[in-house]
A = this chain, B = another copy of it.
Amino acid sequence: MKRKSFGNMQCPVARSLELVGEWWSILILRDAMHGLTRFDEFEKSLEIAPNMLTRRLTSLVSSGLLERKKYQDHPPRYEYILTKKGKDFRPVLVSLLAWGNQYLAPEGKSVLLVDSQSETIIDPILVDRNSKKPLTRISSRFVPGPKANKETIARINFANERKPKKIK
């Protein structure tokens, strides 16, 4: 079954999903952030079929998350390097990691994030860049932006009416 295209939806979450495309793409991005660059490295790490891997890499290149660079002339060989847009996807992966560690690792954690210098285990949370205030469902809410169309405005207004109220 062909899924609906989300690209024409205005919501930035829907658009992100449209672009990243499918789970394989996210796992390729994960491996790219780990430093993998070559076709055979991705193939081995992901145990993915070569035709599927080709398709996903091509899609990530055309979406601007990966750049394809020749690293050898005879025979020609290419590697796939994260662009800034690709690198900036890291918080999504770290958030997935944190959630997976919290809920889907009953036998104990298999992957942790640590501080590069102190090796202290990191517990990732979202805050506002300026105030450093943690973002919760109570402390933050969604509002229509300057370019919101009437569907987006209606959806968010509905949302804010239903939102849990702040305790006064």
Contacts and interface: CB of A to CB of B under 8 A. Distances in A.
A125 B91 CA distance: 8
Given A27-B6, A35-B162, A90 B12 contact: no
Interface string A81-99: 0000101111111111111
A123 B135 CA distance: 10
Tier of interface size on chain A? 35 or more
Contact of A116 (B31, B139, B152, B162): B139
Contacts of A141: 113-114, 116
Interface in A110-149: 110-117, 119-120, 122-133, 135, 137-149
B112 A147 contact: no
A105 B147 contact: yes
A12 B102 CA distance: 9
Contacts of A148: 110-111
A15 interface: yes
